[in-house]
């Protein structure tokens, strides 16, 4: 049987690496499972990185290398594999790769990010790797002193266009909006507008890609007039959004219509013990810093999940006698009174085990058993709830214990 990890992180981008740092530093036995040969996620395909707080001068690659070094410092293990499915539940989850490899874990963080969106334009697939690209860092030097086209106008498109101008002769951005309207941040728009190598074609889309073996021209369509224009070029870069890598999660956790994972502010998914962080989850801002923040939160909450679940498993599910679980708070007088009454009832002599659950510190277990008011008392046997009392009177407690 394979090793049982405390925390298994699927994906080695900024969200996954941050989760690894926080998980390993908290003494969780942590594994990062990455599908690609090199960790780093989406930023590993970029070059410039000038918006990560506290690091004014670095490249994306250098930053992600530092993320990994930091995780390794605390003992994070790394393995390579593309996940096919997640099975199991509770503290016995299993991750199975497409090659049939199995990894077991008590808690999981999904940090698989998103892949470049393809538009399905005629010629797009045919010329992939022959002039069509989705990665500036990967392919920029192939177009040194040549003319290229960039499709897209968001932050990624503009950032990558600015990087590409260090190599190419001329770059033409095809923008679907009216002149002067872009989806990128203002500071990036200003940099693009000021760059002498960048030209813009407004109100337009790429209709088709043509060439003999390699890209030679883009057929550009004006969406207002319908006019088609052949734009000669040697390459076309697409930066038009991304598609979440979540196919292996269908039926396991709740996804939205676009395939992104639904997770709350604690990064918790619909499946207990499985968390989602970074670009893979439903969120508004997708940046390295927000992904890292997600990863840190996911690891912290995974640790809390393990602490609560392992305590509950050992003291309730595996208990050799019935359990009286009192959900309480030290700031609530009725809770204090209840605990006092229970401790007077000689529960051990009557064949019970008494456990006290502070609802503030144990929100996951409290939520799992729908504890909405305190004090609440559960009577459990073999891990199953046999009775539930909300704000009970002393007589009700006696009946609960004696029956």
**Residue pLDDT, tens place only, 71-127:** 999 999 999 999 999 999 999 999 999 999 999 999 999 999 988 889 999 999 999
Please tell me the distance from the alpha carbon of residue 236 to that of residue 126, in angstroms, as a whole number: 12
Q: Please check whether residues 105 and 11 belong to one and the same domain.
A: yes
pLDDT at 1 over 80: no
Residue 120 domain flag: no
What Cα–Cα distance (Å) separates residue 165 from each residue in 2, 3, 187, 229, 269? 49, 48, 17, 23, 41
Looking at residues 220-247, what average pLDDT do you find? 95
**Contact 69/26 with Cβ under 8 angstroms?**
no
pLDDT at 150 over 90: yes
pLDDT score recorded for residue 42: 74
Catalytic residue chosen out of the listed positions 6, 139, 279, 294: 139
pLDDT score recorded for residue 59: 82
- Band the pLDDT of 371: cuts 50, 70, 90: very high
Least confident of 60-64, 72-76, 102-106, 339-343: 60-64
Q: Please check whether residues 193 and 144 belong to one and the same domain.
A: yes
pLDDT score recorded for residue 166: 96
**Contact 320/40 with Cβ under 8 angstroms?**
no
Q: What is the pLDDT of residues 286-324, one digit of tens each?
A: 788 999 999 999 999 999 999 999 999 999 999 999 999
Residue 282 domain flag: yes
Q: Please check whether residues 31 and 83 belong to one and the same domain.
A: yes
Of 228 and 399, the structure prediction assigns the larger pLDDT to 228
Nearest Cα neighbor of 260 from 241, 287, 285, 282 is 282
Catalytic residue chosen out of the listed positions 29, 48, 135, 266: 135
Q: Please check whether residues 159 and 232 belong to one and the same domain.
A: yes
Positions of E strands within 239-340: 242-244, 274-276, 323-328
Of 238, 268, 288, the last residue of a domain is 238
Q: What is the pLDDT of residues 14-25, one digit of tens each?
A: 999 999 999 999
Of 238, 256, 286, the last residue of a domain is 238
pLDDT score recorded for residue 45: 67
Q: Please check whether residues 83 and 225 belong to one and the same domain.
A: no
Of 38 and 25, the structure prediction assigns the larger pLDDT to 25
- Band the pLDDT of 48: cuts 50, 70, 90: low
Dihedral of the CA atoms 389, 391, 394, 395 (nearest 10)?
-50
Q: How far is CA 313 from the centre of its chain?
A: 28
Residue partners of 330: CB distance under 8 A and separation at least 6: 336, 358
Of 205, 238, 271, the last residue of a domain is 238
What are the φ and ψ backbone dihedral angles of 85, each rounded to 5 degrees? -165, 160
pLDDT at 46 over 70: no
Q: Name the percent of the chain lying above pLDDT 70.
A: 99
Catalytic residue chosen out of the listed positions 50, 138, 337, 382: 138
Please tell me the distance from the alpha carbon of residue 167 to that of residue 165, in angstroms, as a whole number: 5
What are the φ and ψ backbone dihedral angles of 123, each rounded to 5 degrees? 95, -15
Q: Name the percent of the chain lying above pLDDT 90.
A: 78
Residue 127 domain flag: no
Domain count, the chain: 3
| Catalytic site includes residue 135 | yes
Q: What is the extent of the structural domain holding 40? A: 4-115+242-312
| Catalytic site includes residue 233 | no
CA angle, residues 316, 321, 323, in degrees to nearest 5 = 45
Residue 33 domain flag: yes
Q: Please check whether residues 9 and 107 belong to one and the same domain.
A: yes
**3-class DSSP state for residue 166?**
coil
Domain CATH code at residue 147: 3.50.50.60
Q: Please check whether residues 307 and 218 belong to one and the same domain.
A: no
Residue 125 domain flag: no
Looking at residues 136-163, what average pLDDT do you find? 92
Q: Please check whether residues 8 and 111 belong to one and the same domain.
A: yes
Looking at residues 148-177, what average pLDDT do you find? 96
Q: Please check whether residues 110 and 246 belong to one and the same domain.
A: yes
Domain CATH code at residue 396: 3.40.30.10
Q: Please check whether residues 94 and 137 belong to one and the same domain.
A: no
Q: Please check whether residues 106 and 248 belong to one and the same domain.
A: yes
Q: Please check whether residues 292 and 228 belong to one and the same domain.
A: no
Residue 121 domain flag: no
């Amino acid at each position: 049987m394979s090793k049982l990890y405390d925390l298994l992180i699927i994906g080695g981008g900024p969200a996954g690496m941050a989760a690894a740092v926080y998980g390993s530093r908290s003494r969780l036995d942590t594994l990062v499972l990455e599908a690609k040969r090199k960790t780093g996620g989406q930023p590993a395909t970029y070059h410039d990185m000038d918006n990560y707080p506290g690091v004014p001068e670095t490249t994306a690659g250098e930053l992600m290398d530092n993320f990994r070094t930091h995780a390794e410092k605390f003992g994070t293990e790394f393995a390579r594999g593309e996940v096919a499915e997640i099975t199991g539940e509770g503290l016995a989850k299993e991750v199975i790769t497409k090659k049939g490899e199995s990894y077991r874990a008590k808690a999981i963080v999904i940090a698989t990010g998103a892949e470049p969106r393809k538009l399905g334009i005629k010629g797009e697939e045919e010329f992939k790797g022959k002039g069509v690209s989705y990665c500036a860092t990967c392919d920029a030097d192939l177009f040194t002193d040549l003319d290229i086209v960039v499709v897209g106008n968001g932050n990624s498109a503009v950032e990558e266009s600015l990087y590409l101008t260090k190599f190419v002769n001329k770059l033409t951005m095809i923008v679907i909006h009216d002149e002067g309207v872009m989806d990128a941040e203002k500071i990036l728009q200003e940099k693009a507008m000021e760059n002498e190598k960048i030209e813009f074609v407004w109100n337009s889309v790429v209709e088709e890609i043509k060439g003999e073996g390699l890209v030679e021209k883009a057929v550009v369509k004006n969406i207002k007039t319908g006019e088609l224009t052949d734009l000669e070029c040697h390459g076309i870069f697409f930066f038009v959004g991304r598609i979440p890598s979540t196919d292996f999660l269908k039926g396991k956790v709740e996804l939205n219509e676009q395939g992104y994972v639904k997770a709350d502010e604690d990064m918790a998914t619909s499946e207990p013990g499985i968390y989602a962080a970074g670009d893979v989850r439903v969120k508004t801002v997708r940046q390295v810093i927000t992904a890292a923040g997600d990863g840190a939160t996911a690891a912290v909450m995974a640790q809390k999940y393990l602490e609560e679940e392992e305590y509950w498993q050992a003291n309730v599910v595996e208990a050799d006698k019935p359990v009286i679980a009192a959900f309480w708070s030290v700031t609530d007088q009725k809770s204090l009174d209840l605990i006092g009454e229970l401790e007077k009832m000689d529960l051990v002599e009557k064949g019970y085990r008494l456990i006290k659950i502070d609802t503030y510190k144990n929100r996951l277990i409290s939520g799992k058993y729908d504890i909405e008011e305190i004090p609440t008392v559960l009577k459990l046997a073999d891990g199953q709830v046999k009775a539930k009392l909300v704000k009970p009177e002393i007589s009700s407690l006696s009946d609960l214990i004696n029956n």
